[in-house]
Amino acid sequence: MEAATLKDIARELNISVSTVSRALRDSYEINAETKRLVMECAARLHYRPNPIALSLKGSSSKAIAVVVPQIANYYFSQAINGIEEVANRRGYDVLIFQTHETYEREVANLRQAVARRVDGVLISLSSETSDTSHLQELQQHGMPIVQFDRVSGELNTPRVVADNFGGAFAATDHLIKTGRRRIAHLTIQPWLSITQERLAGYRAALEQNGLPYDESLVRFGTFGPDEVGPLVDELMALTPRPDAFFTASDRLALGCLAALRQRRIAIPEEVSLVGFTNLTVADMLSPSLSTVVQPAMEIGQEAVSRLLDLIELKHRAAPPTTITIPTTMVLRESSQLAVGRFEEV
Amino acid sequence: MEAATLKDIARELNISVSTVSRALRDSYEINAETKRLVMECAARLHYRPNPIALSLKGSSSKAIAVVVPQIANYYFSQAINGIEEVANRRGYDVLIFQTHETYEREVANLRQAVARRVDGVLISLSSETSDTSHLQELQQHGMPIVQFDRVSGELNTPRVVADNFGGAFAATDHLIKTGRRRIAHLTIQPWLSITQERLAGYRAALEQNGLPYDESLVRFGTFGPDEVGPLVDELMALTPRPDAFFTASDRLALGCLAALRQRRIAIPEEVSLVGFTNLTVADMLSPSLSTVVQPAMEIGQEAVSRLLDLIELKHRAAPPTTITIPTTMVLRESSQLAVGRFEEV
DNA sequence: TTGTACGCGTTATCAT
DNA sequence: ATGATAACGCGTACAA
């Protein structure tokens, strides 16, 4: 690909590259006529400054890296949507990397990001990552880093997360307030911060309503499409059996819904269901399923916004805050009806 | 961010940068001992060649641009997943741009891609784009381009698309073979190539089975979450009324499913349903909904593979082929049962 | 076998 | 007000 350079303009106008450079940057010490000529010529040749040359010269590449477990996932694709929007508006390009939930690829991705001389890193840790020394090293070398969603307490950076505690509390409390007493909680990997926060919200709601916490009602895992059914069977075999399910992901909510219907368990007469899901899924399922909606896009926007502030202002003394974005509980109609909505889909 | 350079290694070892450069490239004319020393030092300093300097020097940036309408969409996020995988394996980074379905942003994104000196462009046109002169100009300037999914016939590039005709034919034929005669088709914007191909497959299946094509059974549009219900009502008010729906997107499939259930229309006793959807959605809904699955990831992989071939081999005489990736029809059990599966979800 | 010089596009620092 | 030059990191033709 050819592209006009300062040299092209200089040659065209028989002046020097530095004059062209200054004219385009609107330097005060330059002849108005020359300036006009340069501007005109630049426009005619569709001149764009070469960001690569700029990167090589200065220390800024006007690009940031976003490292996520996977793109093909509603949550992360919505987050990236928000990230891209804000980043572009502030003049940054976005390089996207997938870890595929492995530590190895996470490290490789960060190397690649460094090689590309990105100005900062936005990361949601892979589920395999427990040791964060690779990120700490990066940070000590001066790379601005912001964590979002899957964050580590070890790592001293700003963190942007959903209000997992609040969302889980609201969902559980809602179920209790509508008469449920044995609420099963189907959730993901136990070592993730988001899992722990949701579990804490669930427990707090039980406690505040004077209900016991029963370990046997809580199940952690990475359940495949065919594993939810047996899990539901196992839980429904308990005595007394659950009268509600609170699920932590899209897959779990849909899997649970399908399993209950297949087993001819009336929803919500016998069992209620609330899912912690994403906006798009909630959208598609509405007006069928009440959900706690994850603010994925807002998290992305807030996270990138923090990162760009960090990059541009270089807050050396930036206190590593945790920013919590509220979740929304979507009940299609009145809260009384809401429990009854699950009969449809 | 600091990062080791050739100069750092040279200084450390008291030799010249060019010696270091050659040692690392394993030049045959170099002292084995020097080579070993350089290698060791490079490893110790975590040396990575600076791709920015390489881009500035040569003509290759080892990066490609992917321009899609939106990321927060199962189809495109899966496609990007495939693209990223293959690109990384072949040593390329991926820059992602969203058009948000506007022509204006498509043009801006391509400018940005050119400014970043990408080696090639993978694009799925925005729904607003009918004039492709911006891409033609880019191509004439020598930029390798491959279109996927939303393609234009005007633009003389390789095209990678799903077998929309075949998929629509299979779905329609399946419905007819299981006794349906009045099959409504809910689909998206009529000017998109994918829409036309699916419509053609639908028509062909009707024709081959000796059924008439009834315009009033086909509806085009960008239906919001609350618009599918009324549309279904309108269609069900026709005489004779439809006994099946074939829908062209995730949203339409789910919206249609919800609308039918809400209206107490028995599926499939009264009305059958098959959706043209994505793997992840099909996955989540299974074993509830039979679908024609779009091969999003495979399309991404094939498209990027073609693009990289174009970049690396510079096939000047590359015949602009259209590569068609087959779709898969997912019937959860036997084809007889399949029609009966829709009662669940 | 190793070192020197140049160029990629840009800006900053001199000089004129 | 404008021009020449150095520097960013790299590879390579050329010189030693």
Domain boundaries, chain A: 6-48, 54-161+296-325, 164-294+328-344
| CA-wise closest residue to B256 among B340, B188, B202, B186 | B186
Mean pLDDT of B47-75: 88
Residue A304 predicted with pLDDT over 60: yes
Residue with more model confidence, A172 or B255: A172
Residue B22, nucleotide of least CA–C1' distance: D11
CA A65-A70-A75 angle, to 5 degrees, is 95
Residue B76 predicted with pLDDT over 60: yes
CA B115 → C1' C14, Å? 30
| A117-156 pLDDT, tens digit each | 899 999 999 988 889 999 998 888 889 999 999 999 899 9
pLDDT band at A332 (very low <50, low <70, confident <90, very high): low
Say yes or no: B117 contacts chain A, CB-CB below 8 A.
yes
CA distance B261 to A289: 14
Look at residue A318 in the predicted model and tell me its pLDDT: 62
Footprint of strand D on the protein (CB under 7 A): A 14-19, 22, 27, 29-31, 33-34, 53, 56-57; B 5-7, 17-18, 21-22, 24-25, 47, 49-50, 53-54, 56-57
Q: Given this chain, do its domains A54-161+296-325 and A164-294+328-344 carry the same CATH topology? A: yes
Highest mean pLDDT, choosing among A105-109, A204-208, B6-10: A204-208
Chain A residue whose CA is closest to B64: A95
> How many other C-beta atoms lie within 10 A of the C-beta of residue A36?
11
Q: Is the CB of A77 under 7 A from strand C?
A: no
| CA-wise closest residue to A148 among A297, A293, A318 | A297
Contacting residues of A for B255, CB less than 8 Å apart: 284
Residues 6+ apart with CB under 8 A from A240: A182
Say yes or no: B230 contacts chain A, CB-CB below 8 A.
no
Which nucleotides of strand C lie under 7 Å from a protein CB?
1-5, 7-13
Contact A116, B88 (CB under 8 A): no
Say yes or no: B142 contacts chain A, CB-CB below 8 A.
yes
Chain B residue whose CA is closest to A144: B1
Instruction: Dig out the tokens for B13 from the structure.
Output: 């070892």
β-bridge pairing A244-247 and A272-278: parallel
Look at residue B333 in the predicted model and tell me its pLDDT: 43
What letters, b where the CB count within 10 A reaches 16 and e where it falls short, cover B137-146? Answer: ebbeeebbbb
Residue A251 predicted with pLDDT over 90: no
Mean pLDDT of B106-128: 91
Contacting residues of A for B2, CB less than 8 Å apart: 141-142
> How many other C-beta atoms lie within 10 A of the C-beta of residue A316?
7
pLDDT band at A296 (very low <50, low <70, confident <90, very high): very high
Which residue is closest to C6 in terms of CA–C1' distance?
B57
Say yes or no: B196 contacts chain A, CB-CB below 8 A.
no
Q: Is the CB of A336 under 7 A from strand C?
A: no
CA distance B26 to B46: 17
Q: In what order do the strands lie in the sheet with B159-162?
A: A322-325, A159-162, A145-148, A120-123, A63-68, A93-98, B93-98, B63-68, B120-123, B145-148, B159-162, B322-325
| Of the candidate ranges A9-23, B109-123, B242-256, B319-333, the one whose mean pLDDT is the lowest | B319-333
CA distance A211 to A195: 21
Contacting residues of B for A258, CB less than 8 Å apart: 285, 287-288, 344-345
Query: φ, ψ for residue B29 (rounded to 5)?
Result: -95, 65
Residues 6+ apart with CB under 8 A from B46: A111, B3, B4
Which residue is closest to D1 in terms of CA–C1' distance?
A30
The model carries a pTM of 0.84
Residues 6+ apart with CB under 8 A from A31: none
Contacting residues of A for B284, CB less than 8 Å apart: 225, 250-251, 254-255
For chain A, the first-to-last Cα distance in angstroms comes to 52
Residue A20, nucleotide of least CA–C1' distance: D2
Q: Is the CB of A49 under 7 A from strand C?
A: yes
Look at residue A315 in the predicted model and tell me its pLDDT: 56
Mean pLDDT of chain A: 86
CA distance B64 to B148: 14
* CATH of A6-48 given 3.40.228.10, 1.10.260.40, 2.60.40.2310, 1.10.472.10: 1.10.260.40
- Per residue, the 3-state secondary structure of chain B, as one string, reads CCCCCHHHHHHHHCCCHHHHHHHHCCCCCCCHHHHHHHHHHHHHCCCCCCHHHHHHHCCCCCEEEEEECCCCCHHHHHHHHHHHHHHHHCCCEEEEEECCCCHHHHHHHHHHHHHCCCCEEEECCCCCCCCCHHHHHHHHCCCCEEEECCCCCCCCCCEEEECHHHHHHHHHHHHHHCCCCCEEEEECCCCCHHHHHHHHHHHHHHHHCCCCCCHHHEEECCCCCCCHHHHHHHHHCCCCCCCEEEECCHHHHHHHHHHHHHCCCCCCCCCEEEEEEEHHHHHHHCCCCCEEEECHHHHHHHHHHHHHHHHHHCCCCCCCCEEEECCEEECCCCHHHHCCHHHCC
CA distance B9 to B15: 8
Look at residue A343 in the predicted model and tell me its pLDDT: 29
CA distance A52 to A55: 5
Contacting residues of B for A56, CB less than 8 Å apart: 50, 52-53, 56
Residue B285 predicted with pLDDT over 60: no
Residue A285 predicted with pLDDT over 80: no
Which nucleotides of strand D lie under 7 Å from a protein CB?
1-5, 7-13
Chain B residue whose CA is closest to A71: B77
Task: Determine, for residues A77 and B73 on separate chains, whether the beta-carbon distance falls below 8 Å.
Answer: yes
Say yes or no: B344 contacts chain A, CB-CB below 8 A.
yes
**A vs B: CB pairs below 8 A:** 142
CA distance B151 to B158: 10
Question: Under CATH, which architecture does the A54-161+296-325 domain have?
Answer: 3-Layer(aba) Sandwich (3.40)
Instruction: Dig out the tokens for A194 from the structure.
Output: 């988001």
Question: Under CATH, which architecture does the A164-294+328-344 domain have?
Answer: 3-Layer(aba) Sandwich (3.40)
Say yes or no: B141 contacts chain A, CB-CB below 8 A.
yes
Distance from CA of A209 to the nearest CA of B (A): 32
Mean pLDDT of B52-79: 89
Residue A78 predicted with pLDDT over 70: yes
